[in-house]
């Protein structure tokens, strides 16, 4: 079965320091991977995706993610964290069994990022 | 991008009643989905809202409990029927476009509390 795992419930980072939010995946075939962010009292916002091509994907708000096939990982990174980055982050994988434009995403449990001044 | 308006943003309901959640998109979209986010948990897909036909439900979700309508390409409703405290969750509307099928846009959600 397709799945993603986010091993950390919470990540704490000091403002200005680099941050990493971890995600590993388990899929059959080529993975379609995504990161979404959920700010308090708001819906999810798309950050970035990996479909094919360069392993380092750049997204919104200065975030990037590195696809590592050998480690089946897709960690989210940012060189310098901001307090405003504090939010809930979800890794997701597209279910390859769905086709024809039907995009069922399987979400990880989420990681709460807390950036301290 | 797509602007998604979801109403109500929150509600407190009594056990045994029903609540209908509305999702309005500012442009025509191909795919519309309804997700549930239970407290402290991840998102789970409830169903795909199909325009002009019955919704496609995921395993564990049934039409009698979560009837869905989609009369056109910009609007859908999800009803949570005969509610119990276990239905207390955030319900999220999500849309996808044919031109960028891999990206989903989400509404701000409806936070439902059932007493």
Domain carrying residue A83:
3-116
DSSP assignment of A47-64 = EEEESSS-SEEE-GGG-E
Nearest CA in chain A to B93: A43
> Distance (Å, rounded) from C-alpha A54 to C-alpha A97?
24
Region of poorest pLDDT, from A38-42, A105-109, B91-95: A38-42
Provide the number of structural domains found in chain A.
1
| Interface contact B108-A32, CB threshold 8 A | no
- The reported pLDDT for the residue numbered A97 is 62
The answer, for B85 touching chain A at a CB cutoff of 8 Å, is no
> Distance (Å, rounded) from C-alpha B71 to C-alpha B69?
6
DSSP strand pairing (A111-116 vs A10-14): parallel
Question: Which of B23, B35, B47, B102 is most worth mutating to test chain A (most A CB atoms within 10 A of its CB)?
Answer: B102
Respond yes or no on whether the N-terminal peptide bond of residue A47 is cis (omega within 30° of 0). Answer: no
Per-residue pLDDT reduced to its tens digit, B80-115:
999 999 999 999 999 987 666 667 889 999 999 999
Question: Which of A102, A109, A110 is closest, CB to CB, to B48?
Answer: A102
Residue B76: partners with Cβ closer than 8 Å, 6 or more residues away? B22, B23, B32, B34, B49, B68, B69, B70, B93
Backbone angles phi, psi at B49, to 5 degrees: -85, 115
- The reported pLDDT for the residue numbered B97 is 76
> Could you identify the residue written with the tokens 């119990």?
B84
- The reported pLDDT for the residue numbered A96 is 62
Contact A88, A32 (CB under 8 A): no
CATH at A8: 2.60.40.10
- The reported pLDDT for the residue numbered A62 is 95
What's the gap in Å between the CA of B1 and the closest CA on chain A?
10
pLDDT value at A100 more than 60: no
- The reported pLDDT for the residue numbered A53 is 85
CATH topology (fold) of B18-110: Immunoglobulin-like (2.60.40)
- The reported pLDDT for the residue numbered A28 is 80
Q: Please tell me the number of Cα atoms within 13 Å of A87 on its side-chain side.
A: 19
| Interface contact B102-A103, CB threshold 8 A | yes
């Amino acid at each position: 079965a397709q799945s993603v795992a986010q091993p950390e419930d919470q990540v704490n980072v000091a403002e200005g320091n680099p941050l990493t939010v971890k995600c590993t995946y388990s899929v059959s075939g080529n993975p379609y991977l995504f990161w979404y962010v959920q700010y308090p009292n708001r819906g999810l916002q798309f950050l970035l995706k990996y479909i094919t091509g360069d392993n380092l994907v750049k997204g919104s708000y200065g975030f990037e993610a590195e696809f590592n096939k050998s480690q089946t990982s897709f960690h989210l990174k940012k060189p310098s964290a901001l307090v405003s980055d504090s939010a809930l982050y979800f890794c997701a994988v597209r279910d390859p069994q769905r086709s024809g434009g039907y995009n069922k995403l399987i979400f990880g449990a989420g990681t709460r990022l807390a950036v301290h001044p | 991008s797509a602007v998604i308006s979801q109403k109500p943003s929150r509600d407190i309901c009594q056990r045994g009643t029903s609540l209908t959640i509305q999702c309005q998109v500012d442009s025509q979209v191909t795919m519309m989905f309804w997700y549930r986010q239970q407290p402290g948990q991840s998102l789970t897909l409830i169903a795909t809202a199909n325009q002009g036909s019955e919704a496609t439900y995921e395993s564990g979700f049934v039409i009698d409990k979560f009837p869905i309508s989609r009369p056109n390409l910009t609007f859908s409703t999800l009803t949570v029927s005969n509610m119990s405290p276990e239905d207390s969750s955030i319900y999220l509307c999500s849309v996808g476009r044919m031109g960028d099928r891999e990206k989903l846009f989400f509404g701000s959600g409806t936070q439902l509390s059932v007493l």
